[in-house]
Amino acid sequence: MSSSSSSAFGFREAEPDGKQFYSRKEKSLGLLCSKFLKLYNRDGVESIGLDDAASRLGVERRRIYDVVNILESIGVVARQAKNLYSWQGFDAIPEALEVLKEEGLRENFNINGCTNSGNVLNDNENEGSTCTVTDGQDSSSSKIESKREKSLWLLTQNFVKLFLCSDVDMITLDSAAMALLGDSNNSTAMRKSRKPAFRWLGWKGNPCNRSAGFLDLNEPKKRVFGTDITNLRLKKNKVDSLTEKKSNPKLNVPKYFKHCNEESNPDESRLEQHSKHKSKGFVYGPFTPASISGIHDSRSKNTKQVLDFASLASTFRPKYHNEAVNGLFGHYVEAWKSWYAEVGDKEQKT
DNA sequence: GCTTCCCGCCATACG
DNA sequence: CGTATGGCGGGAAGC
């Protein structure tokens, strides 16, 4: 019920003549995840109804499934019953990752080198393996996971494992695709200098993890920078800056960049060491939410130090493309960005 | 032009 | 059987 409301969707009137603009970006899964998290990451929230979420977020149910599936993969939410999920919070992530890491190691989820000469470990397609996450609690191997072998849920976890179980902090889309799905489909030409890759990030800024002081074992750090300044949205008519409720910081932010030239990695565990890439900087693509780097509303459109990803491109040779993974990962990336942003935000305001 | 990816149909699992 | 879930292709936004 309460399917679509035909409002608060991607359509919106920004012109006097009543013309409506449709923006895919504003309807992206990543953004949706962000909203979802903002909506439920509050006090008093313990259960989440799918219908409730759908109506609150103004999207159809199908989309909520995607969000929830991914969040569940890292422990942020847990399925309680039909139409019902429980909020576990960001604090559940470290534990979930620990489990994933162990499983991954056990399953040889190591990916060695995503650089030139596509070696990338022989695809260890152990999909048949019932790698249940045993979310810490009732590990009473429930048969309920019949369908979850190839789901977004599993795919997400495997993707995470790739990072947790390797010594690299960056993995190309191709490598991931090959490792997770097993290659075979390298679609269109990769002639261009497009080279999507993913990198782990840590909890944005958790210099001091208050309460629970155990989430510094292996904080993942992830980020993407791809082809170009990804979702840069100040090209044509960036319209206004939203015309509604609270805040939506990310709309004005063109892009971020970060220097990784120093070896100073605050929360760096044994499993993450510098990989081959030693470029001096990274381009942080999409609209990273504010507070990610102490940046507020800076809509500074300085796109100067973008040059760095040129070196990256040279480091990581272009390979093939996998449409399927491409899309999926794209979602993951945005979703994760949102999550980390959320975490960072909370951690910071301590 | 090619790539990314949102929409939503519809196959499937569940109750 | 109806309902809940989510894979997946097409087509369009984005670049």
Sign for the pseudo-dihedral over CA of A254, A172, A273, A331: positive
The closest alpha carbon to A341, from A3, A12, A37, belongs to: A37
Could you give the CA distance from residue A150 to residue A152 in angstroms, rounded to a whole number? 7
User: Between the CA of A60 and the C1' of C2, what is the distance in angstroms?
Assistant: 20
What would the two tokens of residue A270 be?
């044994």
Instruction: List b or e across A66-75, with b for residues whose CB sees 16 or more CB atoms inside 10 angstroms.
Output: bbbbbbbbbb
What would the two tokens of residue A273 be?
């060491």
Name the percent of chain A lying above pLDDT 90: 13
Long-range pairs of A89-94 with CB within 8 A, sequence gap ≥ 24:
A89/A41, A90/A41, A90/A339, A90/A342, A90/A343, A90/A346, A91/A211, A91/A212, A91/A215, A93/A215, A93/A339, A93/A343, A94/A214, A94/A215, A94/A217, A94/A218, A94/A219
A25 CB-to-strand B distance under 7 Å: yes
Residue A86 has pLDDT above 90, yes or no: yes
A63 falls in which pLDDT band (50, 70, 90)?
A: very high
Could you give the CA distance from residue A252 to residue A205 in angstroms, rounded to a whole number? 21
Q: Which of A17-31, A83-97, A233-247, A319-333 has the lowest mean pLDDT?
A: A233-247
User: Between the CA of A309 and the C1' of C2, what is the distance in angstroms?
Assistant: 53
> Strands, E, within chain A: which ranges?
11-13, 20-22, 47-49, 77-81, 84-87, 170-172, 197-200, 222-225, 256-259, 281-284
Find the distance separating the first CA and the last CA of chain A, reported in whole Å: 40
What would the two tokens of residue A203 be?
């909890």
Domain ranges of chain A: 20-134+141-348
Q: For residue A316, what pLDDT is reported? A: 35
User: Between the CA of A230 and the C1' of C15, what is the distance in angstroms?
Assistant: 9
Type of residue at A63:
R
Q: For residue A17, what pLDDT is reported? A: 54
Q: Is the model more confident about A315 or about A79? A: A79
Q: How distant, in Å, are the alpha carbons of A59, A112, A244 from that of A117?
A: 43, 11, 49
Ramachandran angles phi, psi of A78, nearest 5°:
-135, 140
Highest mean pLDDT of the ranges A18-32, A46-60, A282-296, A310-324: A46-60
Instruction: List b or e across A194-206, with b for residues whose CB sees 16 or more CB atoms inside 10 angstroms.
Output: ebbbbbbbbbbbb
Residue A130 has pLDDT above 50, yes or no: no
Nucleotides of C under 7 A from a protein CB: 4-8, 10, 12-15
Q: Are A125 and A115 spatial neighbours (Cβ–Cβ below 8 Å)?
A: no
User: Between the CA of A167 and the C1' of B9, what is the distance in angstroms?
Assistant: 42
Q: Is the model more confident about A111 or about A211? A: A111
Angle subtended at Cα A73 by Cα A23 and Cα A194, rounded to the nearest 5 degrees: 50
A150 CB-to-strand B distance under 7 Å: no
How does pLDDT run across A143-185, given as a tens digit for each residue?
A: 445 556 557 888 888 888 888 888 777 787 777 777 777 655 5
- The strand B neighbours among A residues 99-128, by Cβ under 7 Å, are none
For residue A81, the SS3 value is strand
Q: Which of A155-169, A174-188, A190-204, A305-319 has the lowest mean pLDDT?
A: A305-319
Could you give the CA distance from residue A316 to residue A170 in angstroms, rounded to a whole number? 10
Q: In sequence order, which residues have a C-beta less than 8 Å from that of residue A295 and are 6 or more positions away? A: A253, A256
Q: For residue A342, what pLDDT is reported? A: 56
Type of residue at A20:
Q
The pLDDT of A271-289, averaged and rounded, is: 30
A23 CB-to-strand C distance under 7 Å: yes
Distance of alpha carbon A312 from its chain centroid, rounded? 20
Could you give the CA distance from residue A12 to residue A21 in angstroms, rounded to a whole number? 6
Residue A284 has pLDDT above 80, yes or no: no
Q: For residue A40, what pLDDT is reported? A: 92
